[in-house]
Structure 1
Amino acid sequence: MTISNDLDYCLTQLLDFKPAKLLPEETIQSICHDLKVQLLETPNIMTISSPITLVGDIHGQFHDLLEIFKIGGSPPHTNYLFLGDYVDRGYYSIETICLLILLKLRYPNRIFLIRGNHESRTITTNYGFYSEVLNKYNGSSRVWQYITDLFDYLPLGAVIDNKIFATHGGLSPSCQILDQIRTVDRFREIPHDGIMADLVWSDPDLEIRDFKLSPRGAGYLFGAEVMNKFCHENDVVQLIRAHQLCNEGYVNYWEGKCLTVWSAPNYCYRCGNKASVLEILHTNYGKNSFQKDSVDGQIFNVFEASPENDDDTINGKSVNGNDNVDSFYKSKSVDYFL
């Protein structure tokens, strides 16, 4: 059996069965190792060409990931850039990240993954992924170890058509030019501060112009002056990022100079928000092309939560091994902001 056939077989376990079948521990160890080898050759900032579809936070909402592929097109027919936060919160973090790992291995030039703030040992220990692994693998944490070790290899951002910078969170006062990101040692746990931390934790803020400490406890808020300077210094026209819950699925800042795309509808199965993916068809526009609600060549596809999420919740589907949704979130004192 060839490598591609092995991957195809694993993909069928996740895509052709309801519920999706869990991959064995040894299979997950193997695919994580193979992807680490591939990512060793990947720079901190990838260079990507349009057309491409950008996907924001997924947070273990596996059914909604499948909806995204229905809306945007299945790989390899559509190119995808995933902006991080694949695990925690949802019922199916393991299935979600395993599917993305397999797709990246199967279609390495069509699927691109970057790191979010939840691709971290510390965060996943507290927000669900670790508990889910223990519950689904009979108390063993090995799958969590394999996958969180892989997280250390994920790149930190991408430049699309040399015009758009994409990252999970936002900008850093420690970084004025992209070359500073290119020299960061990313092969480690996300630190508490510095460029790497800011890229996965920071947020735009319409009320300020410069940088301000973030109420998240990590990263910064950044304003219009910071955004304009970053674009000028790096000869880019736009920042696209995820990281923040959006009631309408996306948010447009500074007439399109910064966009947030959020891809987890009805976040935590209770927030009631819409979600979106962002299609970039081309980047044949200049620095003054942005308008309030749209940019030529960019389309937000907005969608609602999959009905299967409601079925899980109504039927008392446990969240990461707990008895019910309410007890899980009450016990964790969930902060939707993280």
Structure 2
Amino acid sequence: SAALAAATARHNNGESDKESVERDRGAEASPSGKSLTSSSAGVLPSKTALVTSSSHPPPVGVRLHHRAVVVAAESGGALGGLVRQLSIDQFENEGRRVSHGTPDSASAARRLLDRQMSISGVQKKVLSHLLKPRGWKPPVKRQFFMEYNEIAELCDTAERWFAREPSVLQIKAPVKIFGDLHGQFGDLMRLFDEYGSPSTAGDITYIDYLFLGDYVDRGQHSLETITLLLALKIEYPNNVHLIRGNHEAADINALFGFRIECIERMGEKEGIWAWQRINSLFNWLPLAALIEKKIICMHGGIGRSINHVEQIEALQRPITMEAGSVVLMDLLWSDPTENDSVEGLRPNARGPGLVTFGPDRVMEFCKNNDLQLIVRAH
């Protein structure tokens, strides 16, 4: 499935604006993202770009941006007929971040630390080589352009950033939200080309980027995908956010393509080292994100066990899937029921012990946590 969700809000007399872009369901390995609302637990229908289901008005406090225009599926452009969109290409550079109120001395110290942690030249090499929304082409030879020591350095620096972050990120709008990428690097470049890219020449100065996991496996360019995202995290640590998906686990991506790709493209010895180092970093990834304390973003869902955001916040990292609790399994593996008429908890076809959750669970969770929207991928 393929999707891009984009959320934007402006503080104006206590109100917030919200935009969402969602790509239609496509090939299994394409980017995906699905949205749930407090009034509807089902995945939004194909070719739908509304924040809430069409039969329900948006809840108070979550509104479409005043410049949003719902359009029919495009017949041309870089994405052909794959997109039904709400225009996000003309976001205004206003209503951006407000200060967190930290003292000047603390802010200066933080800026100094930020510069020191971003001093590595490895991310510059990655960005120069890969961040080409219009010009990137798959390498003729499958050999990856980075060596193991460079990947290790990239992981070391990014891991320090993730270690500083809480398990549930606190993000301010506007923010663009991306679902599963699964090694489909060409799709990621097309999305950046179509909707703006995370660079100073793009929109990174006034729009954050949030990625909901499943960066590797299935696609042919998992190495490009994960190394670019890590480089972006290092370059723009306060504006690019990554959370964990169920494929960010060694026992899963050993079976679905990432391990084999590392070996084939880097050689057996360095490939295994790179695969192990990247999986070690995955254990540090944050697990969910709150946007303006009203929209929660996660990879899978709330399953049977998650009733309060504090349960996710309590998960200590680094954490492996083997050591994780039922909360982690639900967070990364659960799904909503296929339609809103199916309530409660049902067995999940993904595997034993996994569940799907109905609209009643979504409504209860949003009410208990004063939330208006769940955005998920998977």
Q: Normalized against structure 1, the TM-score is what?
A: 0.68
Secondary structure of 2:164 counterpart: coil
- For 1:149 and 1:39, the matched residues in 2 are separated by 12
Spell out the pairing of 1:90-239 with structure 2 (5 A cutoff): 90-140=219-269, 141-191=272-322, 194-205=326-337, 206=339, 207-217=341-351, 219-239=354-374
Structure 1 or 2: more helix by fraction: 1
1-structure distance, mates of 2:326, 2:231? 31
- C-alpha separation in 2, matches of 1:225 and 1:103: 38
Shift of 1:5: 4.7
- 1:47-69 Cα offsets, whole Å, 9 max, x none, are 00111110000100111111111
Matches of 2:182 and 2:223, distance apart in 1: 10
**1: distance between equivalents of 2:197 and 2:212?**
18
Q: CA deviation at 1:193?
A: 5.5
Output the CA distance in 1 between the equivalents of 2:311 and 2:123.
Answer: 36
Q: Which amino acid is the alignment partner of residue 239 of structure 1?
A: I
Distance 1:165 1:18 in 2: 35
Contact 1:4 1:106 in 2 (8 A): no
Q: Matches of 1:41 and 1:8 in 2, distance apart?
A: 22
* Structure number with larger C-alpha Rg: 2
Q: Equivalent residue for 2:89?
A: none
SS at 2:245 equivalent = coil
Tell me how far apart the structure 2 counterparts of residues 101 and 134 of structure 1 sit (CA, whole Å): 20
The worse-fitting range, judged by mean Cα deviation, of 16-25 and 71-80 is 16-25
1:7 aligns with 2:110: no
Higher relative contact order (CA 8 A, sep 6+): 2
* Residue identity matched to 2:285: L
Q: Which residue of 2 aligns with 1:256?
A: none
* Aligned twin of 1:32: 155
Task: Tell me by how many angstroms 1:214 deviates.
Answer: 1.3
Normalising by the residue count of structure 2, what TM-score does the alignment of the two structures yield? Answer: 0.61
Structure 1: which 5+ runs fail to align?
244-338
Root mean square deviation of aligned Cα: 1.9
Counterpart of 1:117 in 2: which secondary structure? coil
Q: SS in structure 1 opposite 2:280?
A: helix
Aligned sequence identity (%): 38
Find the counterpart in structure 1 of residue 192 from structure 2.
69
Give the AA of the match of 1:214. N
Contact 1:14 1:22 in 2 (8 A): no
In the TM superposition, what whole-angstrom CA distance separates every residue of 1:142-189 from its partner, at most 9, and x where no partner exists?
Answer: 110110001000011000011101000100322211111111124122
In the alignment, is the contact (CA less than 8 A) between 1:193 and 1:219 conserved in 2? no
CA distance in 1, matches of 2:344, 2:154: 42
**Alignment-mate amino acid for residue 13 of structure 1:** H
**Does the 8 Å contact 2:215/2:247 carry over to 1?**
yes
Q: Give 2:210's match in structure 1, choosing from 78, 81, 84.
A: 81
Q: Give, in angstroms, the shift of residue 23 of structure 1.
A: 1.4
Counterpart-to-counterpart distance in 1, 2:334 and 2:278 = 24
C-alpha distance in 1 between matches for 2:306 and 2:131:
41
SS in 1 for 2:268: coil
Where do residues 234-313 of structure 1 align in structure 2 (5 Å cutoff)? 234-243=369-378
Tell me the number of residue pairs that the alignment of Structure 1 and Structure 2 aligns: 243
Counterpart Cα distance in 2 of 1:15 and 1:179: 36
Matched to 1:182, the amino acid is E
For the residues of structure 1 that align with 2:329 and 2:314, how far apart are their CA atoms?
14
Which SS does the other structure have where 2:296 is aligned? strand
